[in-house]
Chain A
């Protein structure tokens, strides 16, 4: 994973912290929103507190509501205290907060982009941000287009000589292939691909990054990471939460668009990709996009068999009664939106030939957990496996969140004079082995974008290929004879049909 300026400074040699990125002005569109308060500013504060930012880095919040710089700083002080990974120290906050500014404007108002240009020029002079700009789209997706057009019209997309301009775009990046292509067209009309950073915060998680280390820095896994030894792979992203005030968006998205198109397919790519030629952003992304391209496209009649969509009804989570999806605020009482999806995928490559990959994602499941499990084939049925069960398989589990770590299930003899075999688990927990807390995903991703490292960001072709795959399913669901929506009570592991999806293959979902 390349760092643009690393190793060019001889005084950096041997120091563990990466090179500090060049000073820049970060303009956040949607600066009064949740993302800014809960994630972005706490992430920037933590980076500053850890000494990973140059002093000149400046944040300008761009939003509609009238507000002074001081009011903006005061609000952010409160929320940063609440959401920061580490305690907020007054002395550090005092210095950091001086780098926070607020610019009031409508997103559609061209003059707001001209006035911020003047303000940024002044900040360059006063704070030394050297004309470098990072535009962060934390606004609602429907605002992306006017913002991009206005940025271009005001010339923000063109950096001055020796400077750079980049744009970070939050998900959702479109809602289907056509809208993603249109958005890409609008983005690319203003910013070149190497200026564009499509964020998927799953890729900023320590454990997601560790997948490549696990696979390619340990000689023991790669030789068996193929169809000869792997029986199947399961990827689960379960959450106990319901729509939690996001009903407006969720009603137009559903679990397939909200989670599978981006997060789960990204995890699948990391598990299934070939070794890149080097750790540069494009080498890694070249390999990832090949996985998406190799996903076997569903025929319409496959979808009823290989994809399950569900919606939660009322039930109980952690002994607390919760309403069904259709009873949630701002949800259509006849909503057909999927809050659960399970899929059986095939990656048509030599490595993954005939290895099914099962994905499931859902809301209001019994626990929150994101995990990848690689289920190996059973040992030959010669000596010990006569009374074989599914627990006889070796399973390698990569826990993405929470309780990040890796475990391996293997068979062991129960002590005693008779020969009885039981599965045991070797377990590695990040939290146990390393006392130091991992940085938040947004810390890593913001720093990467400032440093010009796009490795952990999705490239245009990755996004479009993923939408092309998802569109087949979404379209089939709108057909007249589409498979009907299934239902599951909140607090269960999804509809029975999801269990049947694996049971048909003689398999079962891993117990989480």
Chain B
């Protein structure tokens, strides 16, 4: 394999109608033992300038753990001239045993002007057969949503944290989902950010003897980082959905007020702090017992603590999600399955987002 194709550059420029042939050549000319691996088609779409190079760098890291055929699309629908270019490359990594190189292919496209409309045909023609199609959509969704594209997608990955209007965007996503007859699994990286926080809080209640706290939690507080209010609200949505709480507050009110299954009020205080962590801490109180999950200073651990006056607090450190696109994607790609809980959480708090 030519050395250039192994770097994180876009690789070798190719004519669109020769992509397959050039990919075969890439493998046949490769040096040393290589294994081409693919568990999925991962299409990445962005309209940000410079996204092709940035996404290629991300994929170089993502493919370390998730072998795939990557189809990276950098689009500029507002460009005056129509233009389309393509490149092929491979991301190769030593296997865990260190005995062979495992490689993922990447096909990159630059689409400008009217060429952006060719997106479905470009994606479809480059799919590795029989493998699921994951589309990582890095831009805001816009009407019209192309039903042809959505009907092929198995998992749609997006990050609602950057959306300006959550409701308008989620409506478009739901429309696309309807077009696909519910086949698409919605994967929100803003939800993925919460995985370890949710795990850390959930583990307090694994023993059935602790379930009475669900009805006794009356107060909670979340400290979130700049720009991560939506992440904090999703966390509240999760609690509400899973514990049967009803939202009583309106958007932009002070603390979020909820009603628990006994009709009693639960207040969750939201506080923004100039911290890098999306969620810096969550604390809940129930009858003199405090359950706390805090982001540790090192950034990749959570400190969990259950404390009661007069008792030695039970402390533990647990893994944390890092707010890094590669880590979030890896976490999301490992999970699989439907995200029913996410949909329920969104349903609870969509008016607050």
Contact = CB atoms under 8 A, between A and B. Distances in A.
Interface of A: 5, 8-17, 19-22, 48-51, 54-56, 91-92, 95, 126-128, 162, 402-403, 429, 431-437
Contacts of A16: 334-335, 337
Nearest first, the 10 closest Cβ-Cβ pairs linking A and B are A435-B65, A55-B316, A14-B341, A11-B202, A51-B318, A10-B242, A20-B203, A55-B314, A431-B96, A432-B37
Interface string B34-54: 010101000000000000000
Given A19-B206, A432-B95, A127 B314 contact: yes
A127 B318 CA distance: 18
Given A12-B206, A14-B339, A14-B341, A435 B66 contact: yes
Interface stretch (B223-231, B271-279, B296-304): B296-304
B341 A5 contact: no
B200 interface: yes
Interface string B67-107: 10000000000000000000000000001110010100000
B242 A13 contact: yes
Contacts, number: 104
B208 interface: yes
A126 B317 contact: no
B202 A9 contact: yes
Contacts of B211: 8-9
A432 B38 CA distance: 9
Contact of A51 (B66, B102, B200): B200
A433 B39 contact: yes
Main secondary structure of the interface of A (DSSP, over half): loop
Interface stretch (B24-32, B145-153, B160-168, B191-199): B191-199
B67 A15 contact: no
B205 A9 contact: yes
A429 B334 CA distance: 17
Interface residues of B, number: 50
A78 B55 CA distance: 41
A218 to B, nearest CB: 14
Nearest to A128: B314
A39 B205 CA distance: 29
Interface of B: 35, 37, 39, 64-67, 95-97, 100, 102, 195-196, 198-203, 205-209, 211, 214, 238-239, 242-243, 296, 298, 301, 304, 306, 312, 314-319, 334-335, 337, 339-342
Contact of A95 (B66, B100, B316, B337): B316
A137 B102 CA distance: 41
Contact of B315 (A8, A17, A92, A95): A95
Given A10-B242, A12-B206, A54-B206, A436 B334 contact: yes
A129 to B, nearest CB: 10
Contacts of B100: 432
Contact of B199 (A8, A15, A429, A434): A15
29 contacts: A5-B206, A5-B208, A9-B202, A9-B206, A10-B214, A10-B243, A11-B202, A11-B205, A11-B238, A11-B243, A13-B242, A16-B334, A20-B206, A48-B316, A49-B319, A50-B319, A51-B200, A54-B203, A55-B316, A91-B296, A91-B301, A92-B301, A92-B317, A95-B315, A431-B95, A432-B35, A434-B39, A434-B65, A436-B65
A162 B319 CA distance: 30
Contacts of A403: 97
A11 B242 contact: yes
B206 A432 contact: no
Q: Which of B97, B203, B208, B296 has the most CB of A within 10 A?
A: B203
Contacts of B195: 15
A92 B35 CA distance: 36
Contacts of A126: 312
Contacts of B66: 435
A480 B100 CA distance: 53
Contacts of B206: 5, 9, 12, 19-22, 54
A16 B195 CA distance: 9
A437 B208 contact: no
A447 B64 CA distance: 28
A17 B304 CA distance: 17
Q: Which of B64, B195, B209, B317 has the most CB of A within 10 A?
A: B317
A314 B64 CA distance: 43
Contacts of A15: 195, 198-199, 202
A433 B97 contact: no
Nearest to B209: A162
A451 to B, nearest CB: 10
Contact of B67 (A13, A55, A91, A433): A433
Nearest to A19: B206
A20 B306 CA distance: 15
Contact of B304 (A5, A55, A162, A402): A55
Contacts of B67: 432-433, 435
A433 B97 CA distance: 13
Nearest to B207: A22
A207 to B, nearest CB: 14
Nearest to B330: A435
